[in-house]
Amino acid sequence: MSARRDPRIVTWTAALVAAVLILVNLGALGAVAWRAEGSAGWSAADWAALRFTLWQAFLSAVFSVALAVPVARALVRRRFPGRQALIVLMGAPFILPVLVAVTGLLAVFGRNGVMNDALALLGLPRLSIYGLHGVVLAHVFFNLPLSVRLLLQGWARVPSEHLRLSSALGFGGWARFRHVEAPMLARILPGALAIVFLICLTSFAVALTLGGGPRATTLELAIYQAFRFDFDLGRAALLAAVQAGIGLAALQLLARVTPPETAVTGLDRAAPPPPGGWATALGATAITLAALFLMAPLALVVARGLPQLPGLPAVVWRAALRSILVAAASTLLLALFAAALTAASLRHRWAEGIGSSALVASSMVIGTGLFLIVNPVIAPETLALPVTALVNAAMALPFALRALIPAARRAEVDFARLSLSLGLNARAHWRLVLWPRLRKPVGFALGLGAALSMGDLGVIVLFAQTGSETLPMQMHRLMGAYRSGDSSGAALLLLALSLGAFVLLERLIGGRDADT
């Protein structure tokens, strides 16, 4: 097929972006390893950490995705008032800062949480959230919404013609599932599982806090220990390399089990109404349960924060402004990265791999590595905010590419020949063919990026200096100064800003009905 030639600027930008990402994700690890001195041994405790890391990530992935299937299926086929708002709100836990989320979860599932109070009222024993099940519960809380989103995208790609066909053939729920939905799930599920697995692989604060102690040690905590406690850079690099190796293996496995995308596009017609009967009741139950599980902790964060909001100290508002600026810069970078690599991915296989590399990197290693890289040149703390924006963009990029690249490939498979035969140049092709097919995933990706950046408490901690505190940092500081009231106010502010940024960008860019 005679290919369209990309304008040179696209190629060069993609190459530049790739170089930056390699520096952030690989160069940082290299810098740490290079500075390493001392023995890098692998102890029995490390084996235990490895086992626990894999096991909790595996369980979290399986439960998140398995529970997402009935929820997504019910959501895609039902129209009810408030459906849009529900889908947006249900996405909130994923973009929630870890600290806020844990507070909310404890308010529901903790010893004095509403669930245990209810159990006590019924005369049942109180349940403890602490242990492996608590870790998995929290990870499901974070990743169920993401899994639902990924699956909704999968369902959206089932051509409505196929659904019409199955209605026409009088398929019952099971037959429809087997012939129409199962093949789609076979394509989507491995990816969703792998993503959740990778996210949980680097879990640290959640795993430790809810895991009940040292038996819940993950590799990321061991890396943290190597840096902060032993100052053993060699050990940190070794552990990080193992963690990255597992991540890469998971990605490889994913590539092998995912069947190739086949070309089926419908005409953007609305799907036919779903069959009624007991399926309706089941679907409604799935939606209700998921909404309760995801929203109750959020509601309690709101309820606790609201009275504190007016009395928040001025430094919190200044930190909020700083966080908005960082999120804005990070989103711009993300847009640039995502556009360049999506364009490159249509020609080159490497683009997606490099863009996704942050998924397997440890944020602790990235932060420390960048610190070591810039340290000889410039005082690292002067770069606190720019580096935070950069790393946030790199961290959100894998999710952005997950949404963008399949959509771009699909648009290319379907319409590249038409566009070539009509003589659309690169600009017109992007404007008239790709952009309209991509704006929904772009809105989703950038909204996600902005929200994640808003709540991130990662590298900033290493670089920060007085006067560059972001809102999550300031919130942590309030907690560290006995001010739990103010910190719950700050938590609500953070929740509002993260969710607000997400909704704003998704609507602004993705258009009104941008739910999938």
> Which of 368, 392, 453, 498: binder of other proteins (CB under 8 A)?
368
Nearer to other proteins, 331 or 356 (CB): 331
Nearer to other proteins, 128 or 285 (CB): 128
How far apart (Å, rounded) are the C-alpha atoms in residues 482 and 479?
6
Nearest to 388 by CA among 411, 358, 363, 421: 363
How far apart (Å, rounded) are the C-alpha atoms in residues 199 and 195?
6
> Which of 372, 373, 395, 490: binder of other proteins (CB under 8 A)?
372
> Which of 93, 145, 297, 380: binder of other proteins (CB under 8 A)?
380
CB of 224 vs other proteins, minimal distance in Å: 6
DSSP label of 377: T
3-state SS, residue 445: helix
Going residue by residue from 324 to 353, which x/- string records binding to other proteins, judged by CB under 8 A? -xx--x------------------------
When asked if residue 127 is in the footprint of other proteins (CB under 8 A), the reply is: no
The 10 Å Cβ neighbour count of residue 121 is 8
How far apart (Å, rounded) are the C-alpha atoms in residues 13 and 10?
5
How far apart (Å, rounded) are the C-alpha atoms in residues 405 and 338?
9
Nearer to other proteins, 8 or 82 (CB): 8
CB of 383 vs other proteins, minimal distance in Å: 7
> What b/e sequence results for 457-492 when a residue is b if at least 16 CB atoms lie within 10 Å of its CB, and e otherwise?
bbbbbbbbeeebbbbbbbbbbbbeeebeebbbbbbb
When asked if residue 406 is in the footprint of other proteins (CB under 8 A), the reply is: no
> What b/e sequence results for 251-262 when a residue is b if at least 16 CB atoms lie within 10 Å of its CB, and e otherwise?
beebeeeeeeee
Q: Restricting to residues 148-207, which ones interact with other proteins according to CB under 8 A?
A: 204-205
Report in angstroms the alpha-carbon separations of 227 from 50, 207, 213, 363.
Answer: 18, 19, 20, 12
When asked if residue 114 is in the footprint of other proteins (CB under 8 A), the reply is: no
Distance of alpha carbon 138 from its chain centroid, rounded? 14
> Which of 55, 124, 382, 508: binder of other proteins (CB under 8 A)?
382
CB of 372 vs other proteins, minimal distance in Å: 6
When asked if residue 235 is in the footprint of other proteins (CB under 8 A), the reply is: no
Going residue by residue from 421 to 440, which x/- string records binding to other proteins, judged by CB under 8 A? xxxxx-xx--xxx--xx---
Choose the binding region for other proteins from 106-114, 175-183, 247-255, 443-451 (rule: CB under 8 A): 106-114
> Which of 28, 75, 107, 189: binder of other proteins (CB under 8 A)?
107
Nearer to other proteins, 196 or 329 (CB): 329
Nearer to other proteins, 276 or 378 (CB): 378
CB of 242 vs other proteins, minimal distance in Å: 18
Q: How many residues are given for the chain?
A: 516
When asked if residue 51 is in the footprint of other proteins (CB under 8 A), the reply is: no
How far apart (Å, rounded) are the C-alpha atoms in residues 96 and 105?
12
Nearer to other proteins, 252 or 465 (CB): 465
How far apart (Å, rounded) are the C-alpha atoms in residues 39 and 236?
11
CB of 176 vs other proteins, minimal distance in Å: 22
Nearest to 134 by CA among 48, 190, 203, 225: 203
CB of 131 vs other proteins, minimal distance in Å: 9
When asked if residue 103 is in the footprint of other proteins (CB under 8 A), the reply is: yes
When asked if residue 418 is in the footprint of other proteins (CB under 8 A), the reply is: yes
> What residues contact 395, with CB distance under 8 A and at least 6 apart?
358, 363, 452, 456, 458
Nearer to other proteins, 221 or 341 (CB): 221
CB of 236 vs other proteins, minimal distance in Å: 10
H-state helical runs in 277-313: 278-305
Size of the site for other proteins (CB under 8 A): 91
Q: Which residue has the tokens 């990321």?
A: 220
When asked if residue 110 is in the footprint of other proteins (CB under 8 A), the reply is: yes
When asked if residue 79 is in the footprint of other proteins (CB under 8 A), the reply is: no
Burial of 315 per CB tally in 10 Å (0-12, 13-18, 19+): middle
CB of 363 vs other proteins, minimal distance in Å: 14
Going residue by residue from 238 to 267, which x/- string records binding to other proteins, judged by CB under 8 A? ---------------------------x-x
Nearer to other proteins, 284 or 422 (CB): 422
When asked if residue 466 is in the footprint of other proteins (CB under 8 A), the reply is: yes
Nearer to other proteins, 125 or 423 (CB): 423
Q: Dihedral sign, CA of 330, 138, 194, 292?
A: negative
> Which of 143, 209, 363, 498: binder of other proteins (CB under 8 A)?
209
Largest CA distance in the chain: 74
CB of 99 vs other proteins, minimal distance in Å: 8
CB of 326 vs other proteins, minimal distance in Å: 6
The separation between the first and the last C-alpha atoms of the chain, rounded to the nearest angstrom, is 32
When asked if residue 384 is in the footprint of other proteins (CB under 8 A), the reply is: yes
Q: Restricting to residues 271-310, which ones interact with other proteins according to CB under 8 A?
A: none
How far apart (Å, rounded) are the C-alpha atoms in residues 218 and 55?
10
Taking 3-state DSSP, the helix, strand and coil percentages for the chain, each rounded to the nearest 5, stand at 80, 0, 20
How far apart (Å, rounded) are the C-alpha atoms in residues 454 and 115?
30
